[in-house]
Amino acid sequence: MSLLSERSLSKEDKSNIITLGAIAKEEKLKDKSVVNATIGMLYDEDGKLFTFKSVDKALNLLTGDEKYAYASTPGSPKFHEALKKWVFRDDYELFKDNSCVMATPGGSGALSNTFANYANVNDKILLPNYMWGNYKQVAYENNQSFATYNLFDKNGNFDIEDLRNKMIELKKIQKRVLVVVNDPCQNPTGYIMKDSEWDKLIDVINELSADGTPIILLHDMAYLDYDHRGFIATRNNIKKYLKLNKSALVVMAFSGSKTFALYGVRVGAQIAVSKDKEVLNDFSRANKFSSRSKWSNTTNLGMSLITKIIEDKELKLEFERELEESRKTLALRAKTFLDEAKKVNLTTLPFECGFFITIPANNPEAAYEYLVKKKIHIIPMGNVLRVTISAISVNECKMLPKLIKEAIDSTNK
């Protein structure tokens, strides 16, 4: 007999990333020759977790209160302003009064709050068909389900037509749409939307919200600062938000855990953008309530670290230099992997940059098992295999494509 509530009887964590990652980590401890390309964290070429020296310096400058005291539920005004300056950068003045920040435990907290407050019970959240699997669990936990749009069209471009059609379908049924776009460095593909694709997305949202229908764009920007194009290019599309109708809202899910390599500290934020003060007031009120009920407040340590780095001119410059080096490391690993993949005719999904490269496979589970026997751990997801290049060395990136190709070919027989 189970004592769970009826709805909780079916709860099971079906995201295998953490589980398979734990297995890979355990095997790596036993045998250093094991290749662990599972978990989305950045490691250096020696296999050690990458940390920013500037972040360590900032940590040593914090007072006891800044590290250990309770924070307010929304986060401090200093954190809010620092984060706006970081995300909006040169366009800070344009957005400072047209945006609102809510501190959350990582990008996951931002997703949870946004699903809870901008989609009704039993609504479907619109997700890309290649996605971070936890989106589905967040929807279920909030008494919602999901539909998917095709991320790519037949030419490997962002499939804006399919997205529009799926939004129209949901609009008819639900009278509102919450759509998730993960850009740049999309997880798991590493795709970056072109400026023209962002223009089309804004046009579609305005078209469908013109009659007053609420259209919510949840812009998951967890990998914003690992885009090889740098700070200016990654923020160009943010300015396009200001073209949206009043019945449309953008909520950005920012991950300080990713940007600042503070994975275990769990710090992030929702950042809403709207020219309507009532919309921003509603955002603040509802999400403060949700945050208080779920986690009470976000880690003061994480918020204080981020604030200190952004506000201190020297620390900020040092951090930005380190961040640029980490981007170069990722770019080199990606180029190495893709060059080798081309040599062995290993097909990958469209990739530009980021932590992951994704490979179509007819039998990913079997390919995974084949590779484990070769001491290689990657993630099988639906009909693809995800390789975490952020976690492996350049030499491992050079070696993997041939073995993955062998695994796919062997398990397709």
Question: Are residues 141 and 45 located together in one domain of the fold?
Answer: no
Residues in the chain: 413
Average pLDDT of span 94-109: 96
CATH number of the domain enclosing 289: 3.40.640.10
Count of domains in the chain? 2
- Same domain? 207 vs 266: yes
pLDDT, one tens digit per residue, over 247-299 is: 999 999 999 999 999 999 999 999 999 989 999 999 999 999 999 999 999 99
Does 1 map to a domain?
no
- In this structure, is residue 217 part of a structural domain? yes
- What is the structure's pLDDT at 181? 98
pTM of the prediction?
A: 0.96
Same domain? 329 vs 304: no
Domain that holds residue 170: 53-314
Cα-based torsion angle of the residue sequence 168, 173, 176, 182 in order, rounded to the nearest 10 degrees: -60
In sequence order, which ranges of 105-216 are alpha helices (DSSP H)?
106-118, 134-141, 160-174, 195-209
Residue after which a domain boundary falls, among 285, 314, 343 = 314
Confidence (pLDDT) at 142: 96
CA distances from 155 to 151, 261, 313, 349 (A): 11, 34, 44, 11
CB-based contacts of 209, cutoff 8 Å, min separation 6: 215, 244, 245, 247, 248
pLDDT of residue 407: 96
The yes-or-no verdict on residue 339 having pLDDT over 70 is yes
Are 267 and 340 in the same domain?
no
* Sole residue written with tokens 């981007």: 327
Q: Is residue 319 part of a domain?
A: no
Q: Which CATH number characterizes residue 46's domain?
A: 3.90.1150.10
